Amino acid sequence: MSRFIVSRDRGHHVRRWEDYETLARAVFEHVNVGVHHDLLRIPYTHLIMEYGMKIPFNKPYMTGNELPYIAQAHANRHLAGNGAFTRRCCDWLEAGIGCHKALLTHSCTAALEMAAMLIDVQPGDEIIMPSYTFVSTANAFVLRGGVPVFVDIRSDTLNIDESKIEAAITSRTKAIVPVHYAGVACEMDAIMDIARRHNLLVIEDAAQGVMSTYKGRPLGSIGHLAAMSFHETKNIISGEGGALLVNAPEYAERAEIILEKGTNRSRFFRGQVDKYTWVDIGSSYLPGELTAAFLLAQMEKAESITARRLAIWEQYHEALESLEVAGKLRRPIVPLNCQHNAHMYYVLLDSLDTRKRVIDGLKQQGINSVFHYVPLHASPAGQKFGRVNGLMKNTEVLSDQLLRLPLWLGVEGEVKKITASLLALL
């Protein structure tokens, strides 16, 4: 039995991602591992699950500049939020997306909660959204007493069906939250037109939408407000991380206040007031500079990361064409007016049973494939806090059929094996 020791070096538990991987593999393979007691703090049960798989579902990509930038933040001795790295990340977002103002947050969930405060959601106000989305899309508004009103999704993109929105509008409707699933844009022209005619606000949930466009416009630049995620499962990452994008300038000043615990601290730092004080509701939503330093390294490589992801996505798409022609699965559909960011490659199988069988079959071969959202309208909290408008047929059927395949930088050489395994199982 071999023995593998990971030592603690000058305060760093493990210095390279590969070390985590090696450790996780060693533990998984029941090798006798000698580990410094501090290493026991690493959540490696998660890593064991992922790396026990020969092909994990996700593997965070590091550009190589993260640690030098973190060292710079360390040397700057500015570790709290709103420092030089945060400014550079916000500049990148404002320049690339073209939003009026970008505010870095510690998650997309935080940005959505800020949006709910900003639009002043009152108890009983209704927010129209898809049910096929992440919990935070709805929870952010429920925290303010809002009522999520769930409508069905389109069968092609799995995005909110814009033709179902108008029927869900009542005198209590305050906003629409389109979610750009898999980084493919919702039908934003139609949604913005409905909002304008009914005097509603639009908050884009662009958690998965960095570097994607709709009719040439970046996702996150179209609604009054937008929220983006830099969670480690996204294309551009900082572990946890996110941003609130403000397109309607009238929300910009209050957004800064909400970000900073309800104080006018940002104005104070710009010398616009001589002391800062509590002026509104808010919370602590900003990330520290170490996180921003990491994120900037990723943002600077966003073009090449997206290009490589798109190439992997195309590899899957080509390899699975024959299975689609044979009627064994359906591949993702990207409308011509949308440039997506290859956030995800999914297939739609014929039933829940087939999906279970395929997940198990792939697992036997060391390939980790996963399903996605459990529709919110069917969840205990969704039933308690929200309501459904109209039939939810596409949501119910497609959520059972959807299977996500591994997509991360480095999986290129495994795509053939994954698609061949899928073929053998169908």
Ligand X SMILES: Cc1ncc(COP(=O)(O)O)c(C=O)c1O
> Which listed range, 9-17, 47-55, 93-101, 130-138, lies at the site for ligand X (CB under 6 A)?
130-138
Residue 138 in contact with ligand X, rule: CB under 6 A: no
CB 361 within 8 Å of CB 425: yes
**Among 86, 137, 235, 419, contact with ligand X (rule: CB under 6 A):** 137
Taking the complex as a whole, the smallest distance from the CB of residue 167 to ligand X amounts, in Å, to: 23
> Which listed range, 46-54, 147-155, 200-208, 374-382, lies at the site for ligand X (CB under 6 A)?
200-208
With CA atoms as reference, report the closest residue to 173 among 231, 238, 228, 119.
Answer: 119
Q: How many residues bind ligand X (CB under 6 A)?
A: 14
With CA atoms as reference, report the closest residue to 344 among 370, 364, 323, 383.
Answer: 370
DSSP 367-397: B--B--PPPGGGSHHHHHH-EE-S--HHHHH
With CA atoms as reference, report the closest residue to 108 among 253, 254, 248, 235.
Answer: 235
Q: Identify which of residues 223 and 421 has a Cβ nearer to ligand X in the complex.
A: 223
CB 368 within 8 Å of CB 362: yes
Strands (E) across 16-114 are located at 32-35, 101-105
Residue 157 in contact with ligand X, rule: CB under 6 A: no
Q: Identify which of residues 110 and 257 has a Cβ nearer to ligand X in the complex.
A: 110
Binding mask 64-103 for ligand X (x = CB under 6 A): ----------------------------------------
Q: Identify which of residues 231 and 317 has a Cβ nearer to ligand X in the complex.
A: 231
| HSE-up (13 A, CA, CB side) for residue 86 | 24
> Which listed range, 14-22, 25-33, 79-87, 204-212, lies at the site for ligand X (CB under 6 A)?
204-212
d(CA 209, CA 216): 13
Residue 173 in contact with ligand X, rule: CB under 6 A: no
Q: Identify which of residues 137 and 395 has a Cβ nearer to ligand X in the complex.
A: 137
Binding mask 271-290 for ligand X (x = CB under 6 A): --------------------
Residue 178 in contact with ligand X, rule: CB under 6 A: no
> Whats the size of the chain, residue-wise?
426
Question: Three-class SS of residue 1?
Answer: coil
Taking the complex as a whole, the smallest distance from the CB of residue 242 to ligand X amounts, in Å, to: 5
Q: Identify which of residues 6 and 237 has a Cβ nearer to ligand X in the complex.
A: 237
DSSP designation for 278: B
DSSP designation for 130: E
**Among 107, 173, 247, 394, contact with ligand X (rule: CB under 6 A):** 107
| Residue corresponding to tokens 């559909």 | 333
Residue 139 in contact with ligand X, rule: CB under 6 A: no
- Residues of span 205-264 touching ligand X by CB under 6 A: 205, 207-208, 229, 231, 242
CB 207 within 8 Å of CB 233: no
User: What interhelical angle do 135-142 and 108-118 show, nearest 10?
Assistant: 30
**Among 134, 150, 313, 346, contact with ligand X (rule: CB under 6 A):** 134
Q: Are strands 345-348 and 402-405 parallel, antiparallel or unpaired?
A: antiparallel
Q: Identify which of residues 317 and 372 has a Cβ nearer to ligand X in the complex.
A: 372
Taking the complex as a whole, the smallest distance from the CB of residue 399 to ligand X amounts, in Å, to: 14
Residues that bind ligand X (CB under 6 A): 107-109, 133-134, 136-137, 179, 205, 207-208, 229, 231, 242
